[in-house]
Amino acid sequence: FNGEIYNFQELKKDLIKKGHIFSSDTDTEVVVHLYQEYSCNLLDMLDGMFAFALYDTIKKRLFLAKDPFGKKPLFYAWQNQQLIFSSEIKAIVKYPNFRAEIQQLSLQKYLAFDYIPTPHSIYKSVLKLTAGSYIFIDINKPITQNSITPVKYFNIIFTPKLSISEPEAQEQLKILLV
């Protein structure tokens, strides 16, 4: 777990009412109990910045998730028939037998924009989990690069507050600037 859940106290109270018993006063434990109660739907309840990995020992699946605005990083790679993930890319690069091949297009984007757009990274086999996304990986099934599919749970929808024509908007802008 990397981050902070701002509303964890409120969520904890609701979980206690449902019969959950806690052994600490941490936001991390609240996330675990929320997962037990709501599975991936817990993400809609969290107010905060986070990236986490949770292994479900009963269903034998790995759950990776990232907050809606992507404040905390979460990198993952599929290499040598293994899934590697971390909140820092340097941990993945240090993984035994990791092939650190530079992604040329990412390098070009970095040189042009001073950053590498998500989901890419500087390395060919390493991706960044997109903001507002999660991944479920079923350990009972064969894992391949294609079975690691991010699911978007949050989208920002921009709706105009005013419905005016472009000429009217230009006129209002002139008035505001003069």
122-164 pLDDT per residue, tens: 999 999 999 999 999 998 888 887 789 999 999 888 777 777 8
The span from the CA of 109 to the CA of 122, in Å, is 9
Q: Is 122 helix (H, G, I), strand (E, B) or coil?
A: coil
pLDDT digits (tens, 9 = 90+) for 49-72: 999 999 999 999 999 999 999 999
The span from the CA of 27 to the CA of 113, in Å, is 36
Hey, where are the domains in the chain? 2-74+129-177, 89-128
pLDDT digits (tens, 9 = 90+) for 9-25: 999 999 999 999 999 99
Higher pLDDT, 41 or 80: 41
pTM score of the predicted model: 0.83
Say which CATH topology domain 2-74+129-177 has.
Glutamine Phosphoribosylpyrophosphate, subunit 1, domain 1 (3.60.20)
Nearest alpha-carbon partner for 153 in 46, 41, 52: 41
